[in-house]
Amino acid sequence: MLELEPFILSFKLAGLTTIILFILSLPLSWYLSQTRSKIKPFIEAITALPIVLPPSVIGFYILWTLSYNSPIGSFFHEYFGVKLVFNFTSLVIASCFYSLPFMVQPLQSGFEGINKNVLEASYISGKSKLETLFRIALPNMKPALMTALIVTFAHTVGEFGVVLMVGGSIPGETKVASVAIYEFVEIMDYESAHLYSAIMVLMSFVVLLSVYLFNHKQNKKFSSI
Amino acid sequence: MIDVKIEKKLHGANGDMKLSVELSIEEGEFVALTGQSGSGKTTLLRILAGLEEADANIKVGGIIWQDSKKVLSVQKREIGFVFQDYALFNNMSVEDNLLFVNKDKNLANHLLELTELKELKSRLPNTLSGGQKQRVSLCRALMNRPKLLLMDEPLSALDLNMRNKLQNEILTLHKEFGTTTIMVSHDPSEIYRLANRTIVMSHGKIVNDGTPKSVLLETSGSQKFSFEGELLDIVKVDVIYVAIVSIGQQLVEVVVSKEEMKSLTINKKVRISTKAFTPSIVQSN
């Protein structure tokens, strides 16, 4: 029997994570692309950590930081009555850490790929850095922007280890598609596992294909003559 | 009136040097800035624009742009800047590139008309040729009616014909707007045609300052042709030696004696000169 709930949950999680990460990463990646500061490599290394760390490590630290026994977890529980682990909120927080590099890195290289003179021409035209960012930088790096948004989304849909550790498998709350498939396999319901997996493959392919088609078209448009 | 006094340490390709420039420019002047690459011309322009930090006193038309106490940001300096690589906004049409600076549609139309770009106004920059792009960039630089127009080798990426055409347009625009202009250029004919003052820089200092005629015509009116070039090769032809020298875009063969040959080194700069008693002058096509 096909239940849509895990998919909806996956997409809700991925959508929220993408929006939050985009807002947080925009200033960070802009700063990284423009700065000549000595701390730049340190920040770059920290943001890239989730790529190399096993998801269990990230999951473990997030559990450790957000659980009741930690200062942060107990603070939120005491003052706001909010639990930060084994619910949807914790999944969003965990995903934001887990997918951070997939948002920051394409944005940063997009910003770095923009001719410095073009940005300076905008400043000379009397425009502030903020206006330059939105009216000149972002519109001139649509492929990078698209890659950042879609890959972050897709990567969050595809996450499993962190989600399982931080969220467990509560139906309708933290049981996302990848966790649901894991459980089907565990109880040897291969039919459902096949169905869910095939849907994941198909959707992921369509998403990635649309990114590459978009970028292909953009590159053609911007490199004519 | 523009008064400039700038000091800055530079770490250039030719080692460390100090940029040290003191300069006054009259309103409406067209100044050509020339000199070897690495002499600090571009840095000087960027400091004037406020794109680079320096110990500077800059006063333009009675307004202090920069001194030890305050530094006016690049956004507030009211300058125009033409980059060698055009630096157009590729996401906007030609017209929108101009309107981005200033929403004055009449001025935009007027500028596009003067530079014969009106037909192309809804095109994206990437569909234009190099010459057209640079004209757009020139128009864009004038959109805020700048107090100072800075051009960093604006025409050096273009071919000779296009360069001539754009020189005329720069001249037209300069006449029309009367903008005080500083242009970095290496092309003597360009400087001669456009500028009314030439400043030569070397190792961060001004080494020559005068009218283009007095600075460029080194032989100052003697009947002598004199060309700088690069010695490419010396070949022996029967009993004589022929030196092959590259001058501008041309290769020239010059007969040299055996003694002369010994004093020459291949790949070095050489000067070829001759007395011209009866030169003939014919218009070329």
pLDDT at A183: 92
Q: How confident is the model at residue B223 (pLDDT cuts 50, 70, 90)?
A: low
**Least Cα separation, residue A124 to chain B (angstroms):** 5
First to last CA, chain B: 42
Whether residue A120 and residue B87 make contact (CB cut-off 8 A), yes or no, is: yes
Q: How many CB pairs under 8 A join A and B?
A: 65
What residue of A is the nearest CA neighbor of B144? Answer: A125
> Domains of chain A, with CATH numbers?
5-222 (1.10.3720.10)
Q: pLDDT class for B122, splitting at 50, 70, 90?
A: very high
Locate B234 and state its tokens: 């010396």
pLDDT digits (tens, 9 = 90+) for B169-189: 999 999 899 899 999 998 888
Alpha carbon of A22: minimum distance to chain B alpha carbons (Å)? 21
| A103–chain B nearest CA distance, Å | 23
Complex ipTM tops 0.85: no
B133 interfaces chain A, CB cutoff of 8 Å:
no
Gap between the Cα atoms of B5 and B45, Å rounded: 13
Interface residue B11 vs chain A (CB under 8 A): no
Interchain proximity B87–A117, CB inside 8 Å: yes
Mutation for A interface: B43, B90, B142, most A CBs within 10 A: B90
Among B71, B88, B89, B93, pick the best mutation site for testing chain A contact (most A Cβ within 10 A).
B89
pLDDT tens digit sequence for A30-84:
999 999 899 999 999 999 999 999 999 999 999 999 888 888 888 888 888 888 8
Q: Residue A16: what pLDDT?
A: 96
Cβ within 8 Å, pair A117-B83: yes
Cβ-based contacts of B49 with chain A (< 8 Å)? 120, 124
Q: How far is A135 from chain B (nearest CA, A)?
A: 9
Which tens digits make up the pLDDT trace of B32-56?
A: 999 988 888 999 999 999 999 999 9
Question: What percent of chain A has pLDDT above 70?
Answer: 98
Question: Cβ–Cβ contacts within 10 Å for residue B104, how many?
Answer: 15
- Answer whether B49 sits within 8 Å of A136, measured CB to CB: no
Contact A120 B127 (CB under 8 A): no
Testing the interface with A: which of B43, B45, B47, B75 to mutate, by most A Cβ within 10 A? B75
Per the CB < 8 Å rule, is A225 touching B49?
no
What are the residues whose beta carbons fall under 8 Å from the beta carbon of A90, sequence distance 6 or more? A62, A66, A83, A84, A166, A167, A174
pLDDT in tens, chain A (225 residues): 678 889 999 999 999 999 999 999 999 999 999 998 999 999 999 999 999 999 999 999 999 998 888 888 888 888 888 888 888 989 999 999 999 999 999 999 999 999 999 999 999 999 999 999 999 999 999 989 999 999 999 999 989 999 999 988 888 888 999 999 999 999 999 999 999 999 999 988 988 898 889 888 887 776 654
Residue A17, by phi and psi: left (phi above 0), alpha (psi -120 to 50) or beta? alpha
Residue A122 Cα, gap to closest chain B Cα (Å) = 8
- Please indicate if any CB of chain A lies within 8 Å of the CB of B76: yes
CB contact (8 A) between residue B75 and residue A123: yes
Number of C-alpha atoms within 13 angstroms, CB side, residue A41? 1
